[in-house]
Chain A
Amino acid sequence: MKRLAQKVEFCTACQLCEDLCSKTYFKEENREKSSIRIEIGEKGGSSIIACTQCGVCMEICPAQAIYQDKNGIIRIKKELCVGCFACVGFCPEGAMFQHHEYLEPFKCVACGICTKQCPTGAIFIEEVS
């Protein structure tokens, strides 16, 4: 299966990935709507937060609205989602996101759009078995 992987030491925190993500999925550049987040630490270092496709959210979801597709990607069936955001609270990576304009949460589906334009190769799509 594929997933978004990272080499955080290459990250310059340009946050281009955030803009690309929110633009792709929500038609606006707004990091609050991005499924990848760059958190800049106090000492300047950054961390990259995105779904690792671990599936904890799938176990938690009361509506069974979260499933794993044949490529191993964890996806949300919006029509089944009841908007409780239990998945947001329980995600071990803090990589399930929520925005008040939407009833359902959102997450990285390893589409790779952001990785293609990352200037330093800090993020990339990897295949894992």
Chain B
Amino acid sequence: MIKVNGEDFPWEEGLTVKKLLEKKGYTFPTIVVLINGLSVPENEYVSTIIPDGADVKAIHLVAGG
């Protein structure tokens, strides 16, 4: 189990940032991703594997119309 924005989310082997964003339906173009407080650059979403128990933040920088 990991935390995503403070809520529980099931963990699986080989879960990358990209996969997580897809599973959550996070399609917004500018999301800031932090794993245990460390920022992940966008070009590493495909290769970064999220460890079990991680505290993930996926911060959407959208403030609406």
A–B proximity contact (CB within 8 A): no
Interface positions of A (Cβ within 8 A of B)? none
